[in-house]
Structure 1
Amino acid sequence: MNVRVKFLGGAESVTGSKYLLEIDDFKLLIDCGLFQGLKELRLRNWDSFPVDPGSIDAIIITHAHIDHSGYLPLLVKEGFSGPVYCTSATASLLEILLKDAAKLQEEEAEFAKKKGYSKHDPPKPLFTVKDADQALTLLNSVEYENLISINPTIQATFSDAGHILGSSIVSLDIFGSIQKKTIVFSGDLGRYDQPLLYDPASIKKADVLFVESTYGDRLNQEESPANKLAEIVNQAFEQQGCLLIPSFAVGRTQLLLYYFHHLLEKKLIPDCKIYIDSPMAINATYLHKKHRKDHKLSVGKNEHASIFDDSHFQYYKSQESSTNLNNIDKGAIIISASGMCTGGRILHHLFHRLPRTNDTLLFVGYQAIGSRGRKILEGDETSRIFGLEVPVKCRIRHLDGLSAHADQAELMRWVSQINPPPKYTFVVHGEPESSTTFAKKINSSLAWPNVLVPQYLESIELFRGI
């Protein structure tokens, strides 16, 4: 049996994760993400897929974030029809995220048609809600630590990655005619000792390891996120303004609500309303109630108790209620999506609040190179929204401590548990500097052989004649 891997995304980039394993004639795709951020990356979504989608036999999704799952509707549209394996909570989230991504694609195409700024005539979405619905019919839900058979020679185990609800580390056992080999995909790894999610599961054995490196070149701040968040809220209110937070709908929003609930209970911030203005975030919050065993917030509580029912939290689903938030001048916190300010309702809020000197814009998550959020964070004086250059006059703040990604020390803690060293270690899902720095750290600290930073579309033989 021969095994090869082709890097179709998530190499030299934090987005577009797709790793194609060719196990003899069987093609297994690990993750199926959209490219985001820089225009040159986003344009890859429109390119012909490097492999015939109809030739792929099965797909595994490590978690529901769009940079790991968002290409699935397009792949199905282009001919993929095999099974898609993911955890139960991931399947629930995909029903929300894929439909929302499709709806945004359709709305943006319609808006471009109205305004006449698209290069396509007529403007078209990358995929539609119908495509997303078709993709969802292919999902096969699995539970953590349950061994499943992908085919007679491949078994998979999903372990908790601690990144978002349902996120997983995937271990593949490949049974050759001579020996068994284990290939491990870290997915995106969460942090240790967090209030919402459990620690990333310990993995002891990997003949080949794919490990993410989003924060492979940095350490997260040690200061308490709660204290820093309280400081930012109090300063924003002292300016007689509102605090606007672009937040990832899944994971980050729920973690913010946990901290705001705590700060309000302890009276560390003024009594105020917190508006969650994101239908996707609201639905994802409901799923945290449904999948109670996959996070810590239900421990010791009855089956109905939830911090998400705090009376300070106002959940806004309708467009009309969202628009009404423009009339609030001070003393409120608005959480909206998307987290990198690339689309969704946050654009409407940015359009109205970026020019307001009394308001504060707080970034609480990673901002990919080329994203609107990254440009604002790096000091752009204007931001192009709805075809107009909007002046950035509000105060800009950034809070690192809420990251859902393990930092370099936590990544090292996780990989160090693997013994003996893998034959190959591929450092993926990171910007070039981050991946290279983390690869060097593994080399200097563990002296592992063949620690590689793969290139986009590179193909490597992992095993021959096993």
Structure 2
Amino acid sequence: MNLHFFGAAGTVTGSRYLLESKGDRILVDCGLFQGLKNLRLRNWAPFPVKPKSISAVILTHAHLDHSGFVPALARDGFDGPVYCSKATRELCKILLADAAHLQEQDAAYAERRGFSKHRPPLPLYDTQDVKRVLRAFSSLSFGDNHDLREGPSVRLRRAGHILGAAIVEVNWKGRRIVFSGDLGRYDDPLTVDPEPVHAADYLIVESTYGDRLHEPRDAQEAIGAVIERTIARGGTVIVPAFAVGRAQMLLYYLERLKSAGRLADTPVYLNSPMAAEASAFFLRHSDDQRLSDEERRRACAVAKYVDSVEESKALNEDTTPKVIISASGMATGGRVLHHIKKYAPDPRNTILFSGFQAAGTRGAAMVAGAQTIKIHGEYVSVRAEVQNLGMLSAHADAEGLLRWMRNFTRPPRMTFVTHGEPTAADTLRRRIQDELGWRASTPEQMDCVKLS
């Protein structure tokens, strides 16, 4: 059996792992590359194996860097099932449709404004591609062994992180291979702790925060302080937020602040159709999370939901100090770009990020102190205050990752450290070797490893 690293190797994005044995192929995660241009270009390259030769795809969760390439894979010939948890299946309906819609919108906008180098600019995939592939999705329950007709037996364990996120255990031809997916944080106010795994022959573990710890500051207090000082100087707070998970966490903290008597006169807007859909799902779905029905209802009611493009544009003309939560979380696309173009040049305002910013994204550039950023072919000055509250991340930090791995009763034959920037992955690799005494490696893009 061979394990191919087609993504999330040497980078934090584009999760794609191919298990292959005697011509049978199973793909675990099928994500988009995001961030640096040389990474994004990989989305347009031919897939390393013929998509039709892949028997099945298994998804750890719905975030686009894990699921976002599935429509393109199917368009190019993959015709097998896509297995995931029920919540992931439902969220993919939202996220993949939104990804296609944004790509179509961006292509049309680029053509109208003439700033694309391509004639005509095209989306990576379109809405029809998404509709076709969603019919291939099949949901698996947590905790049970599922014998797939494609060969392996699969078990999903809860990973925390976002609703439906799974640790995937694949038992195939005498080997147990565990994929951590993205592990959530212990004691998170919204999501459950990642479930323990006790044994694996091979482990593929993420390392997004493999070289750092989350800030010990109280998240609610930190959010309140940033917003209050911005409002005091007459400014607006723009919050680029991941539509699934992070937006709902922000709403939860904002409701808590308002219930405590703070931000009483500060209007809050949620300007993301996808985040609005995700919030409706958040209200309906009680699994994977700690909040009661009433707590979820109050959180989602704290903001005014912005539906139309006209309402979105009106927010940029409104001089009233306010909070606008909008996607995407790393400022790579969506309505938030129009808000940043409007509000970033004014020092009264704040651009408030809420978690990890991948290299090459506008979010990473602004957090690093960029004075200008390029949006829609134009350079925009950044004079607004820029903050990143890393303690809001939905990823386990280095100690959380090691805490989860300490549940193993015996070392895996090899642990592959992936889904992290090179320094983060290598730092975690060394800690795994030094503190756990395990064999560990950091594979490179397109590496192939024989699983004995």
TM-score by length of 1: 0.95
Change (3 A) 1:375 1:260: same
2:326 counterpart residue number: 336
Aligned to 1:181: 175
The Cα shift of 1:389 comes to: 1.0
Q: Cα 1:423–1:305, aligned 2, differ >3 Å: closer, same or farther?
A: closer
The answer to whether the 8 A contact 2:252-2:300 is kept is no
Q: Higher mean Cα deviation, 228-237 or 249-258? A: 228-237
Shift of 1:121: 2.5
Matches of 1:64 and 1:152, distance apart in 2: 22
Aligned-pair CA distance for 1:77: 0.4
- Matched residues in 1 for 2:10 and 2:273: separation? 32
- 1:307 and 2:312 aligned: no
**Distance in structure 2 (CA, Å) of the matches to 1:18 and 1:26:** 16
In structure 1, what residue type is equivalent to 2:265? D
- For residues 287-319 of structure 1, what are the alpha-carbon distances to aligned partners after superposition, in whole Å with 9 as ceiling and x for unaligned? 112211221112xx46x9722343x41011111
For residues 300 and 201 of structure 2, the distance between their equivalents in structure 1, rounded to whole angstroms, comes to: 46
Where does 1:391-402 land on structure 2 (aligned, <5 Å)? Answer: 391-402=381-392
Long gaps (5+) in structure 2: none
**Range with bigger deviation, 339-348 or 233-242:** 233-242
Match of 2:362 among 349, 362, 372: 372
Q: What amino acid is aligned across from residue 248 of structure 1 in structure 2?
A: F
Asked if the contact 1:365–1:400 (Cα under 8 Å) also holds between the matched residues in 2, the reply is yes
Question: Of residues 256, 263, 267 in structure 1, which corresponds to 2:250?
Answer: 256
Q: Which residue of 1 aligns with 2:157?
A: 159
Change in Cα spacing, 1:446 to 1:309, as seen in structure 2 (3 Å) is closer
Q: Distance in 1 between matches of 2:204 and 2:181?
A: 8
State how far apart, in whole Å, the 2-side matches of 1:32 and 1:164 are: 17
Corresponding residue for 1:220? 214
**How far did residue 212 of structure 1 move?**
0.1
Taking the TM superposition and a 5 Å limit, the aligned residue runs for 1:44-443 are 44-151=42-149, 153-174=151-172, 176=173, 180-298=174-292, 301=293, 306-310=297-301, 312-443=302-433
- The question of whether the paired residues in 2 share the 8 Å contact of 1:7 and 1:18 is answered with yes
Distance 1:89-1:145 versus aligned 2 partners, 3 A rule: same
Give me the whole-angstrom Cα distance separating, in 2, the residues matched to 1:89 and 1:119. Answer: 38
Q: CA deviation at 1:116?
A: 2.8
- Residue 80 of structure 2 contacts residue 136 of structure 2 at CA under 8 Å; is this kept in 1? yes
CA contact (8 A) 1:18 1:30 kept: yes
Tell me the distance in 1 between the aligned counterparts of 2:140 and 2:152: 15
State the alpha-carbon separation in 1 of the partners of residues 215 and 283 from structure 2: 30
Root-mean-square deviation (CA, aligned residues, Å) is 1.4
User: Residue 454 of structure 1: which of 439, 443, 447 is its match?
Assistant: 443
Any conservation in 1 of the 2:178–2:200 contact (CA below 8 Å)? yes
After the TM superposition, which of the residue ranges 388-397 and 327-336 deviates more from structure 2? 327-336
Residues 279 and 300, structure 2, Cα contact 8 Å, conserved in 1: no
| One-letter amino acid of the structure 1 residue matched with residue 408 of structure 2 | I
CA distance in 1, matches of 2:300, 2:447: 48
User: Runs of at least 4 residues of structure 1 off by over 3 A?
Assistant: 268-271
Within 2, Cα distance between the matches of 1:40 and 1:124? 18
Report the alpha carbon displacement of residue 111 of structure 1 after superposing the two structures with TM.
Answer: 2.0
SS at 2:415 equivalent: strand
Conserved? CA contact 2:241–2:330, under 8 Å: yes
| C-alpha displacement of 1:146 | 2.2
The change in CA–CA distance for 1:419 and 1:338 in structure 2 (over 3 A counts) is same
Give the whole-Å Cα distance in 1 for the aligned partners of 2:167 and 2:376: 39
Q: 1:324 is paired with a residue of what secondary structure?
A: helix
Q: Secondary structure of 2:392's partner?
A: coil
Tell me if structure 1 keeps the 8 A contact 2:55–2:150.
no
What letter matches 2:449 in structure 1?
A: I
Greater mean alpha carbon deviation, residues 106-115 or residues 137-146: 106-115
Alpha-carbon distance, 1:370 to partner: 0.5
* Offset of residue 221 of structure 1: 0.8
- Asked if the contact 2:248–2:300 (Cα under 8 Å) also holds between the matched residues in 1, the reply is no
CA deviation after TM superposition for structure 1 residue 328, in Å:
2.7
Give the SS at the match of 1:331: coil
Q: Which runs of 5+ in 1 are unaligned?
A: none
CA–CA separation in structure 2 for the residues paired with 1:445 and 1:172: 26
> Which whole-Å deviations, capped at 9, do the CAs of 1:97-118 have from their partners, x for residues lacking one?
1011111111222222223333
How far apart in 2 are the matches of 1:219 and 1:24? 42
> The residue matched to 2:230 in structure 1 has which SS?
helix
**Residue 297 of structure 1 contacts residue 306 of structure 1 at CA under 8 Å; is this kept in 2?**
no
The C-alpha deviation readout for 1:106-160, integer Å capped at 9, x for no partner, is 1222222223333332222111111111111110011211221123741101111
CA separation in 2, counterparts of 1:35 and 1:376?
20
**1:462 & 1:235 partners in 2: Cα distance?**
55
Number of residue pairs the alignment of both structures matches: 452
Over 3 Å counting, the alpha-carbon distance change for 1:309 and 1:48 in structure 2 is: closer
- Give the AA of the match of 2:447: E
Q: Which amino acid aligns with 1:193?
A: D
What is the TM-score of this pair, normalised by structure 2? Answer: 0.98
What SS does structure 2 have at the residue aligned with 1:335?
Answer: strand
